């Protein structure tokens, strides 16, 4: 049986600004995201990447067209319904980590569960499981200022997956990282997509990420100009050795 897509946009248009200052940031884009795939969205600054991912994340509403997440058409949803959809089905990973400096790694992850209504022992167990999954079992009580950039980003990944979302959106997840940590985070995202059967979409302009992709979308002037599946993608056997890389970083 064919699985339903995790997310779709259908002929989506997004205009920003008004009157003479109005700009068409996204222009008639249609795409489908499937579970089990890591998709990269690449393009120059101002090409519409962030606007498109924000619509998929139900943060921005399209000027026209449809956004469907987890089988739910968002067109006529009210703000509280969109917020519930985000909480239940979407995980976010940001370039700047967005961790609370006064909270430990476990507490940062538990905070994301709290907004989903998951508290107490269940929240603690989920947070610890997520941190172990990203190779940070030894860092659960650590605070962000005591962690490297790569470790902080992996806490952010743990926070995104702790609520078991079907769609994970990553906005420039490697931009603030050195080469080794950038590779480790991309390997982790590929692992999450393939092993956990989630759709992962990463906005990036980092060429280091290409070898991990099952699919690469290129966007310019608000339009998808290329949609390809690299022959050397990790799904065809060249997956980066995430476990080995994490061990090197933890050493």
38: helix, coil or strand? Answer: strand
Is 2 inside a domain boundary? no
**Domain carrying residue 207:** 7-250
Q: What angle do CA 87, 153, 221 make, to 5 degrees?
A: 75
Answer yes or no: is 1 within a domain: no
Q: CA-CA distance, 72 to 170, in Å (whole number)?
A: 21
Are 7 and 56 in contact, with CB atoms under 8 Å apart? yes
pTM: 0.86
Helix (H, G, I), strand (E, B) or coil at 41: strand
Q: Is residue 63 part of a domain?
A: yes
pLDDT tens readout for residues 117-154 = 899 999 999 999 999 999 999 999 999 999 999 999 99
CATH of the domain at 197: 3.40.50.300
Number of domains in the chain: 1
Minimal CA–CA distance to 196: which of 238, 242, 230? 242
pLDDT digits (tens, 9 = 90+) for 58-101: 999 999 999 999 999 999 999 999 999 999 999 999 888 899 99
Give residue-wise pLDDT tens across range 176-216.
888 888 899 999 999 999 987 899 999 998 888 999 999 99
């Amino acid at each position: 049986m064919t699985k339903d897509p995790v997310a779709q946009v259908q002929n989506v248009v997004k205009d920003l600004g008004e009157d003479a200052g109005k700009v068409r940031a996204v222009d008639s884009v249609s795409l489908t995201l499937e579970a089990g795939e890591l998709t990269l969205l690449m393009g120059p600054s101002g090409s519409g990447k962030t606007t498109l991912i924000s619509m998929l994340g139900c943060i921005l509403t399209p000027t026209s067209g449809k956004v469907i997440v987890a089988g739910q058409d968002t067109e006529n949803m009210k703000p509280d319904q969109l917020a519930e959809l985000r909480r239940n089905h979407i995980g976010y990973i940001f370039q700047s980590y967005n961790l609370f400096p006064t909270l430990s790694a476990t507490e940062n992850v538990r905070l994301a569960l709290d907004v989903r209504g998951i508290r107490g022992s269940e929240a603690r167990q989920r947070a610890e499981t997520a941190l172990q999954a990203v190779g940070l079992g030894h860092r659960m009580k650590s605070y962000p200022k005591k962690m490297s950039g790569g470790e902080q980003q992996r806490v952010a990944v743990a926070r995104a997956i702790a609520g078991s979302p079907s769609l994970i959106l990553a906005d420039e997840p490697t931009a603030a990282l050195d080469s080794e940590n950038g590779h480790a985070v991309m390997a982790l995202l590929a692992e999450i997509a393939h092993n956990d059967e989630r759709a992962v979409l990463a906005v990036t302009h980092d060429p280091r990420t290409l070898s991990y992709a099952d699919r690469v979308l290129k966007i310019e002037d608000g339009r998808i100009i290329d949609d390809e599946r690299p022959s050397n993608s990790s799904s065809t056997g060249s997956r980066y050795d995430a476990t080995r890389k994490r061990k090197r970083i933890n050493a």
